[in-house]
Chains A and B, each alone.
Chain A
Amino acid sequence: MKETIKLGLVLLLVTAIAGGILAGVNGVTAPVIAEMERQESFGALLEIFPEANDFVEADPSLMDQILSTNPAVFEVYQATKDGEELGYALKTLSGGYGGDITTLIGINNEDTIAGLRVLVQTETKGLGTRIVDDPAFRESFLDKNALASLNPVKEPSADDEVMLLSGATVSTEAVLKGVNAALDAYANYLAN
């Protein structure tokens, strides 16, 4: 009995020391890892706002309001350059043909679209994947009015029209669903 307790105590001591050391190492590496993950998610944000040097996450109370009316919008960043506001970037989640699609949409201060990036998608290769691979698709969103919702057409020309990829209607509409939710959230909560 006495020996069992002694063995248990030795093991407890060893694991406690190991735990303490690991907590120390974690204290050093965790901030580095978090910072790197932040940088990584900044990658796409920087493509849309290349001149920005900081992205501030929207404060939780505003986020709660946005989520209550536009649940597809799950992250909002304000892009700034030396404190000067450049615009907003909204991350949305919408159901596509092969799974959920995560879209990042940037809107600049003149209420026009600054850029679109599809971050995560599992669409059909060669068809639905053109929402990422076809530059004409994302370019058709550029400079469009951000205060009204967008419609997909074969040959976009008007201010509320973007490209409909033939053979990838479901994927196109899924991206648009996310984008329109973001535009709606922007018009209601973020635009001046």
Chain B
Amino acid sequence: MKLSTIFKNGIIYENPIFVQLIGMCSVLAITNTVQNSVGMSGAVIAVLVLSNIVISIMRKFIPAKIRIPIFIVVIATFVTMVEMFMKAYAQPLYLSLGIFIPLIVVNCLILARAESFASKNGVFYSAMDGLAMGLGYSVAVIILGSIREILGSGSFWGISLFGEAFQPAAVFVGPPGAFILLGILIGLFNAFIKNRATN
């Protein structure tokens, strides 16, 4: 197995958002600003890498019949830890991400990597897979968050870009704008991948 393949898969060819379309609920909800997108990306990367590592270590001892409950316990443990640390040391972020932090537990992206990768591969590659998939998620939500904040609020990272005269398109702050933009981005991304494959 090559590291470059793991990263290419995670970020481009099997991008969790643009290609696999998994874990979409939080994507639509938290990409209304760049700050939220970056904060959520950090939380998802942390949970993915840590749960992949632990599940990979435990993979020889986990009885096949109860592997899913055990994966969920491991994932829920790390999500709760992230939630506690965020509440203690990054409270503004914790307040703006709200319910979507505990909901990482049921984000199928994380369970999917545990089931399809970490439970079959060694610790190092599992950690790298978690990182690669997390980066793929981050790329997608940060692109989506940037466009939504610029068009919907006329700002980037909370800093106003265009001054008073700009009338922001509020539709991009809400879920409808998120759906429309996500559709366009998925289309563009897949056209890009197809283009690369044929060349």
* Residues of chain A having any CB pair with chain B under 8 Å: 6-7, 10-11, 14-15, 18, 21-22, 25-26, 28-30, 32-33, 36
Contact = CB atoms under 8 A, between A and B. Distances in A.
Of all A-B residue pairs in the complex, the 7 with the closest CB atoms, nearest first, are A29-B88, A32-B88, A18-B77, A29-B84, A33-B88, A25-B81, A7-B66
Given A11-B70, A14-B73, A33-B84, 14 more contacts: A11-B73, A18-B77, A21-B81, A22-B77, A25-B81, A25-B84, A25-B85, A26-B84, A28-B88, A29-B84, A30-B84, A32-B88, A36-B88, A36-B91
A138 B135 CA distance: 51
B66 A18 contact: no
Interface footprint category on B:
10 to 19
B84 to A, nearest CB: 4
Interface string B70-91: 1001101100110011011101
Interface of B: 61-63, 65-66, 69-70, 73-74, 76-77, 80-81, 84-85, 87-89, 91
20 contacts: A7-B66, A10-B61, A10-B62, A10-B66, A14-B70, A15-B73, A18-B74, A18-B76, A18-B77, A21-B77, A21-B81, A22-B80, A22-B81, A25-B85, A26-B84, A29-B87, A32-B89, A33-B84, A33-B88, A36-B91
A7 B84 contact: no
Nearest to B85: A29
Contacts of B62: 10
B65 A7 contact: yes
Contacts of A15: 73
A109 B144 CA distance: 57
A131 to B, nearest CB: 25
A96 to B, nearest CB: 25
A1 to B, nearest CB: 14
Contacts of B80: 22, 25
Nearest to A26: B84
Nearest to B61: A10
A6 B91 CA distance: 42
Contacts of B66: 7, 10-11
